[in-house]
Amino acid sequence: MDEARDKGLALNPKYDRDGLITAVVTDADSGELLMVAHMNAKALQLTRDTGLAHFWSRSRQSLWKKGETSGHMLKVRDLRIDCDQDAVWVKAVPAGPACHTGARSCFFRRIGPEGLTPVDAAG
């Protein structure tokens, strides 16, 4: 255990070999899980500086501000890091659907015995 990282109050993110940490985004009011993405150091800093969620796109290999083209930005209300500082929890107020498909949440399908089934807005 890295005592300073695990229990201390100094921000010291533990990025993976690609320079990324996982970012879990929930609705600040309802607690609904909206999306999971990744942040590099620049995305985390921009998120802290602007109050708007920024991420690193692994597929495009580029920095992106959520909602930059759609207008569905995520206004950060609370930003937390887990005990070993390798994951971030973003509590945000969404300005529209969080998913690129237009769904409110990226988690709109349930895995069941017969395959995938849609999940209604209530969960």
Residues annotated in the binding site for Zn(2+), as ranges? Answer: 83, 99, 106
Q: Which residues sit in the known binding site? A: 82-84, 86, 99, 106
- Three-class DSSP category at 59: coil
Residue 26 to residues 30, 61, 86, Cα–Cα distance (Å): 8, 24, 17
Q: Which residue has the tokens 């569905």?
A: 72
Sign of CA pseudo-dihedral 9, 51, 65, 23: positive
Closest CA to 42 of 56, 58, 52: 56
Q: Which residues sit in the known binding site for Mg(2+)? A: 82, 84, 86
d(CA 19, CA 85): 13
